[in-house]
Homo-oligomer: A and B are copies of this chain.
């Protein structure tokens, strides 16, 4: 059966007026196999999308509604949930138990160990049975599981950049996982769409600062996947920083080598490891990642260099936090779950400059 003959998949977006929700709407507007049939927003409930966001001009008749899961249930076949942490737990569980597909962009179903979730998020997990069904939606690791899943925990933005940067080195055991330092820098859209003095223009613009030092909630998510790749429990140094740009995460990673290996050989290893991945681009020829070169795309750019003086591998990865770090990866997961072409709707090039 040709995909274009299929009846369109009905898609609902819970939390559609935040930056991730808007980004899902931007991407899905050009996706040939789906139709957005429901969008929620508490603040804008009752208003048409175009009254609030005239630039979402592809959605002429769609209106925001409140987050009422019973009312939403029959409106869509698959739900993207871009709700705050905690708020997703119940809704995801409900949709999943009622037989729907769900892609959760919150952290609620990412941490497989409920105790770790409770420790870092300060919340009990009330649906551990459903939690067990969730697949961590990083296609470069879990593609096959995602294809069969009905519930996806879409990865966090920082973890996506860190895990993809480290995977080939970890799997081949060429670095010592106990020495990993992850220094990440994120655009301000990662902080969400809200009235908050700390992210007001004049506080962020021309500024740069670290935050959440040693305590950021993406730490256990990174450690869960790094540990799995390393085959043993790993703890990492992770420091996020706030960049005065709209979009993009650049992550610089340091780890000691377990054996001598030069830059060229390491690059070959990375290039091979990601050769068949449509959304990872390993840079060679003395080129290195720039968040500007992945803006608006689902691509993760990776560059690296071995420092022979300190016997350290330095990896740099760049993603668009709203695309590969959120909405784009979610659509990628949907494509995999539904059997659509993997790159459908997310193959556009970077908006440069």
Instruction: Please list the residues of chain A having a beta carbon within 8 angstroms of any beta carbon in chain B.
Output: 19, 22, 25-26, 29-30, 51, 53-58, 179, 181, 183, 185, 188-189, 193-197, 199-211, 213-214, 235-237, 239, 241, 243-248, 250, 252, 254, 281, 283, 285, 287-297, 299, 301, 303, 305-307, 309-310, 312, 314, 316, 318, 347-353
Q: Are A213 and B353 in contact (CB under 8 A)?
A: no
The reply to whether B209 and A289 contact each other, CB–CB distance below 8 Å, is yes
Q: Distance (Å) between the CB of A116 and the closest chain B CB?
A: 13
* A51 lies within 8 A of B252 (CB): no
Chain B residues lying within 8 Å of A206, measured Cβ to Cβ, are 206, 245-248, 291-292, 295, 353
A-B contacts, 17 listed (Cβ < 8 Å): A19-B202, A26-B349, A26-B352, A30-B348, A185-B241, A188-B202, A193-B197, A193-B202, A205-B353, A206-B246, A206-B247, A210-B288, A210-B303, A235-B310, A237-B254, A237-B312, A295-B351
Q: Which of B58, B244, B299, B306 contacts A205 (CB 8 A)?
A: B244
Whether the pair B352, A213 counts as a contact (CB closer than 8 A) is no
Instruction: Give Cα A350 to B200, complex, Å.
Output: 19
Kindly list 5 other residue pairs between chains A and B, CB separation below 8 angstroms, not including A188-B205, A203-B292, A254-B254: A54-B283, A189-B202, A206-B353, A207-B293, A210-B316
A216 to B225, CA, bound (A): 32
Task: Give the chain B neighbours of A289 by CB distance below 8 A.
Answer: 209-210
Known: A244-B205, A347-B30. A197 touches B195 (CB 8 A): yes
Q: Which residues of B contact A303 (CB under 8 A)?
A: 210
What residue of chain B has the Cβ atom nearest to residue A52's Cβ? B287
Known pairs A207-B291, A250-B241, A314-B237; A200 contacts B202 (CB<8 A): no
How many identical chains are in the complex? 4
> A181 touches which one: B181, B201, B204, B209 (CB < 8 A)?
B181
Complex CA gap A79/B246 in Å reads 35
Output the least CB separation between A205 and chain B (Å).
6
User: What is the CB-to-nearest-CB distance from A281 to chain B, in angstroms, rounded to a whole number?
Assistant: 6
- The answer on a CB contact under 8 Å between B26 and A235 is no
Please give me the 6 A-B residue pairs with the lowest Cβ-Cβ distance, nearest first.
A207-B292, A202-B353, A209-B290, A214-B307, A55-B293, A201-B204
Per the bound structure, the CA–CA distance linking A203 and B347 in Å amounts to 23
Pair A213/B305 contact, Cβ less than 8 Å: yes
Expressed in whole angstroms, the Cα–Cα distance for A19 and B314 within the complex equals 31
CA distance A112 to B237 in the complex (A): 34
- State how many angstroms separate the Cβ of A275 from the closest Cβ of chain B: 13
B205 touches A200 (CB 8 A): no
Q: Closest residue of chain B to A190, judged by CB?
A: B202
- In the complex, the answer to whether A351 meets B353 with C-beta atoms within 8 Å is no
Q: Quote the shortest CB–CB distance from A249 to chain B (angstroms).
A: 9
> Chain B: which residue is nearest A308 at the CB level?
B214
Given A181-B254, A202-B188, A244-B201, A26 contacting B351 (CB threshold 8 A) = yes
- A291 & B209 in contact (Cβ 8 Å cutoff): yes
A296 to chain B, nearest CB (A): 5
Minimum CB distance partner of A179 in chain B: B179
Once the chains bind, are B205 and A288 in contact (CB under 8 Å)? Answer: no
Whether A236 touches B30, Cβ cut-off 8 Å, given contacts A56-B349, A243-B208, is: no
